[in-house]
A and B are shown apart, each in its own frame.
Chain A
Amino acid sequence: MAKILVCDDDKEIVEAIEIYLTQEGYEVLKAYDGMEALKVLESEHVDLLVIDVMMPKLDGIRATLKIREENNMPIIILSAKSEDADKILGLNIGADDYVTKPFNPLELIARVKSQIRRYTKLGSTVDTAQESVYTVGGLSVNDDLKEVTVDGEPVKLTPLEYSILLLLVKNQGKVFSISQIYEDIWNEDAIGVDNTVAVHIRHIREKIEINPKEPRYLKVVWGVGYKIEKS
C-alpha cells in the first residue's frame, strides 16, 4: 500500500488526516515540522507527502524545496494561507497541489488518490499514446472508445457533455465562448440565449473535478468562455 507522510505542527489535524487516510487503506507516517519530515524521508520511501506551510524549525515551503532536490513524489501543500500569491508560490516551488484550510477532508482524500494514481500510472501509460486519445493531466478522453477517465477512474458523461468535453480537450488552451460551443455542437446558430451550455459545463465539472469550485481541468474564463488548459 502506498505510504503517505503527513506533516503539520497541529497534532489534531495530523491525527484526523491519518484516520481518513488509513480508512482508505494508506499507510501513514507522521511528522510535526519540516526537519522531522526530512529525517523521515531519509530513511523511508514515501509515495506522497502532505505538508503544512506554517511550521516551526523548517517551514513547508523550504522543506518542499529541499525535498524536491532529491525526490519527485507528489506533494500536497495544506495551508491556511489562502491568498493567490501563496498558492502560486507553493505550486511554483514544486508542489503538485495546494489545499487551503479549513478543507473538506473528503476532498483532500480524493486529491490524494488522484495524485497517487497519476504518479504510479504515469510510468505505464506513456507508451500508449494514440492519436485519438486526448490527455490533460489526469484527464484522458479516448475518442475511439468514447471513454473518459479521470485519474484512471472512468467517468460517465452524457453525449452532449462528452461532445463539449471533447471539443475543449481537442483544443487545449483555446477559449470557447458559449455561442461557439453551441454552434459547434448543435450545428446551429445560437438563437436566443439561455444557460443551456453553462449548465452542461457545470455538470461536466461536477463529474470530472474533485472540487468543481476549483476546477483543475475545465476552467472558466469569466465573461469570455471556457477552456481546458494544456498540461
Chain B
Amino acid sequence: MREKWYKCNITKAVLVVVAHVLVVVMTACFIWLFSYPVLRAEIFAGKPAKEYKDSRNFVEKMLGYSQQAVTGIKSADLFETEGKYNPDKIVDLETYHKKNIINGKNKSGLSYRLGDLLEWAGLKYGTAFSGVNRNSEESVRLDENTEGIIVCKRADDMFEYYRMSDFYEMITGGGLRFIVSSDEDEALDEESVMVDDGQAEYTFAEGEFRAVQDEKGAVVYKDCWVYDGAVQAEQFAPIGAEDILSIVNNDPQWNGRLDEAYSMLGDVLYALNDQYTAYHKASESVKEGDTNFSFIYADTKNRCIYTNKTEYRTFDTLEKSLAQMKASGKYVIINPKLADFETDMENVDASLWRDTVKYSGLDQEEFLFAASVDTSYPVQDSFYAENALYEKYGGSARRIAVFGCLAAVLSLGCILWLTAVAGRSDKDDELHLNAFDRWKTEIAAAIVIGIWFAPTLIGIYTVKWDMFLNAGDTWLDWQMPYVNDSVFFIILVCLMSVFTCAMFLIGFLSLVRRIKARTVWKNSLLRCIGVLFKDIFLNLNCIWKTVLLFGVYSIVHWGVFMSEISTNPRMGMVLLAADVAAFVYLVHKSIGRNKLKNGVKKISCGELGYEIALDKLTGDQREIALDINSIGEGMEAAVAESVKSERLKTDLITNVSHDIKTPLTSIINYVELLKQENFEDAKVRRYIEVLEQKSQRLKTLTEDVVEASKVSSGNITLEYMNLNLAEMIQQVSGEFEERFRVRNLKEVLLLPDEEAVIQADGRRMWRVFENIYNNAAKYAMEGTRIYAELFVEERVVRFSLKNISEQALNISADELTERFIRGDISRSTEGSGLGLSIAKTLTQMQRGTFELYLDGDLFKVTIEFPRVK
C-alpha cells in the first residue's frame, strides 16, 4: 500500500466522484419522497403504514368523501323532491337568500324556476350543469351590456321604471315630455337628446329640470334619473312576470327595490351555483357502483336514511347494515356524543369527524353517520388506484428515507475527508495551492457563485415548479398523475444537485485550502484595496491627512443629515459610529501629544537620557517621538563628551601640576639648605635669594593654575552659608595688617554698623578677598592709603577696595582680569597674574558681580552680592 494513500490524487478524484453520486442519490430519495404526498404524510408521522388502508392519506380521503356525502345529503334536500332532482321547483329568491331553503312556493313575489336559475347560473359561471365554462369576466360583460333603466318618481313617491329604449320612444313620441325651467311648453329638441349605445344621455341646455309631463300636460313624474344600481342580464323570466322590471313596477312589495332585487338575484345565482356544484359532485362521486366508499346517514328523529347503497336504505335494518359495513373494511361510526365514536382506523381525529358531520348535516342533535370503505376494492375507484400505487411504492417509504439519510451521511463523510486532505499531497507534507486558489478571494468567490447561480436561476424561472410543489395537497385528486409527472422534476432536481455539488466542492475546497494556507484575508481583494488606501494615507502629508479625515467626517455628517435622520433612526447609528470614531482618534492623538510634550519637557530640563515610550504612538507622532529620542541621545552624548573633555583637562592640569610639584619640592628644599649654609659671599647669597624667590613663584603659579582650572571648569562644590561681610572684611583686614604695614600702606575701613549678610561659600570668599587684598598689597604705591568700604543697601551688599597703583596702568580693566595678564611692568615681580581672574570667576560663581574700575592711577575693585535679610 503506498504511503499516505489517503492524500494522493487518485483518492481525491475518487472521493469527488463518490461525493457527487451520493449527493444525487440523496437528492433523488428525498425528492421522491416528497413527490408522493401520501408518503410524505407517512414519514413525518412516525411508522409508515404497510398497506394503503392503514395510511393517513386513507383516513383523510375517507373524511373527504364523508364530507361530500353529508353535503350531498344536505343539498339533496334543496334540489330534490322525493329523492329526485326536480328542476321545476320554485325558488323564492328572498327565502333562499335569507334561509337557504327552497320551499317551492312563491312567497315574496320574486321567484324563479329552479331549472331556469341553474341554467342561468351555468351561463354566468360555468357549471357542470351547463357544461359551459365561462369565467366571470364574460358574465360581467354580459351584465354590463344590458340596457339602461330609467327610474321615475311619481308624485305619490312610487317609482316607475322604464327601459331606456322604451323611455326614449316615449319621449320622442311625445308620450312624455321634460319640463325644463319655467317654460312649461317647451319641449326638448331632438338634438338635445342623444342616445348612445342604449344609454341615453340627456343634456339640459341651461335649464333646470323640473318635471316630466305626459302628452296631456299633466305632471306625471316629479323626478327621473338614470338607474345606476346592480343589474343582471335577464336570461330567464321570473315566475308570474315578464321580467323583474314589471314585477318592480307592479308589485308594491318590490316597488323601489330594484337594486335590491337585482343584487339578490346575483347572490342567489352565485350561491345556488356553488351548492349545485357540490350537490352534483357529491351525487356523482358517491354513486353506488362508482366507489368503494359507502355511507349511511340516519336521521334518528325522522327515522329516515340517506345512503348510497340500496341495501342499507331501510331504517329498521340499520344495525345489520352497520355490521355489514364494519365487516367490509375500514369503517367509522359517528354519534353525536364523542364517547360513542367507533372506528377501526388509527390516527382518526374523532372530534374533527363528528363536527364535520354535525355542522354540515341536517340535524345537529339526533343523527348517526357511518362510513366505510371496502378494502377488497371491488370497484376500481380512486381508493383502488391509490392502493395500487401504495402497494407499488408505499412500502418502501421507510427504506427510501433511510437510504437517503445514509447517502447524506456518506456524502458528508466524503466532503469531510476531502476537507482534511485539501491542499495536501501524498508526496510531501506541504500545503499546495493550485492556480485557482491564488486568485483573489472575492473574485474567486464571485466566479464560483456566478457560475452556479446562472443556470440555477434559469432553472428556477423557466420550469413550472408550482405544479410540482403545490400538487399533492388535494387528497381527492388522483395521485398517480403527479407521481408520473414528478419523474421529470426529480431528474431535473438531481441534475441541479449534481451541478451544485460540483460547484460547492470547487468553491468550498478552495476556501479550505486558502484557510489552511492562511491566505483568505491575505489574498483578498478588499485587503489589497485597503492596504493601498492605507499606504496612500500614511504617506500623505500631515496637512492632507487632517483635511482628508475632516472631509470624510463632515461628508458622513452632512450625508446623514440630508437623508433625513428623523425618518430613519438607523442613520443615527452611522452618525454615532462616526462620532465615536472621531472621539477615539482625537483622544488617542492628544494622548500622544501629551507624551511628546512631557518627553520634550524632561529633556529640556536636563534629563537627556529620557526616552519617550514609543508604544501606542502612531504615524507622525511616532516619528516625532523617535526624532526627539535621538535628539536627546545626541545631546546626552555631546554633554558626556564635553564633561569628559573637561575632566580630562582638569585631570591633565592636576597631573601635570603634580608632576611639577615634585621636583619643585626638591628645589625649594635644597635652596633652603643652601640658605642654611650661610655663605659669606654676598653674590652667592644674592643668587640663593633669587633662587628662593623664583621657586616660590613657581609654587604659587602651579597652585594658582590648578585652582584656576578648577574654578573655570566649574569643578568646585560650593557650600553656601550666611556670611556677615562686615565680619569678614575685618577678618581679612586683620590678616593683611602686617603686609600692609611692611609697605607702609594704611587701610581705611569704612564698615556699616548693621550686618551685611550674604549667601556665599566662606572659604571661596576668603580666597576672593585674599586675592584682591593681595593685589592691593602688591601693587599699591607705598605710603598710600587703601580704602575698604562696605555698603549695605536695600537689596544688595557692595564692597569696594580702592588703592593707588604704584606703576602706571596702561591697560583696560577687562584685560586685567583676563588670565595671565598683568600690568606689563608688574610682570617681572611676584604674582602669577591669575589672582584677579580667579577672584572674578569665584565671585561670579557665587552669583555676585565683580567689577574693575581704572582711572589714572586709581584702582578700584567692586564686589556686589544680593543681600540676605
Contact = CB atoms under 8 A, between A and B. Distances in A.
B725 A223 contact: yes
A195 interface: yes
Contacts of B733: 195, 198-199
Interface in B654-686: 654, 657-658, 661-662, 664-670, 672-673, 676
Contacts of A193: 726, 730, 749, 751, 753
B143 interface: no
Contact of B730 (A10, A20, A83, A195): A195
A222 B699 contact: no
A183 B662 CA distance: 48
Interface string B697-733: 0010001001000000000000001111111101111
A225 B658 contact: no
Given A220-B731, A222-B731, A222-B763, A101 B665 contact: yes
A102 B730 contact: no
Contacts of A222: 723, 728, 731, 762-763, 765-766
B730 A194 contact: yes
Interface string A135-178: 00000000000000000000000000000000000000000011
A198 B762 contact: no
Interface stretch (A11-19, A32-40, A69-77, A125-133): A11-19
B727 A178 contact: yes
A193 to B, nearest CB: 4
Contact of A105 (B669, B730, B738): B669
B730 A223 contact: no
Interface string A182-215: 0000000000011101111110000000000000
Helix, strand, loop or mixed for chain B's interface? Answer: helix
Contact of B665 (A54, A103, A195): A103
Nearest to A191: B753
A220 B673 contact: no
B666 A16 contact: yes
A10 B726 CA distance: 46
Nearest to A198: B734
B197 to A, nearest CB: 136
Contact of B724 (A12, A13, A177, A220): A177
B666 A10 contact: yes
B477 interface: no
A231 interface: no
Contacts of A12: 666, 669-670
B160 interface: no
B669 A198 contact: no
A177 B756 CA distance: 13
Interface residues of B, number: 45
B751 A101 contact: no
A221 interface: yes
A126 B751 CA distance: 46
B658 A80 contact: yes
B288 interface: no
B668 A105 contact: yes
B738 A202 contact: yes
A57 interface: no
Contacts of A179: 727
Interface of A: 10, 12-13, 16-17, 19-20, 23, 54, 80-83, 101-106, 177-179, 193-195, 197-202, 220-226
Given A223-B721, A223-B762, 12 more contacts: A10-B662, A16-B673, A19-B673, A103-B668, A105-B668, A105-B672, A105-B673, A199-B737, A223-B723, A223-B724, A223-B765, A224-B762
Interface of B: 654, 657-658, 661-662, 664-670, 672-673, 676, 695, 699, 703, 706, 721-728, 730-735, 737-738, 747, 749, 751, 753, 758, 760, 762-763, 765-766
23 contacts: A10-B666, A13-B662, A13-B669, A54-B658, A80-B657, A82-B706, A101-B661, A102-B661, A102-B695, A103-B668, A105-B673, A193-B726, A193-B751, A193-B753, A194-B730, A195-B737, A195-B749, A222-B728, A222-B766, A223-B722, A223-B727, A223-B728, A223-B765
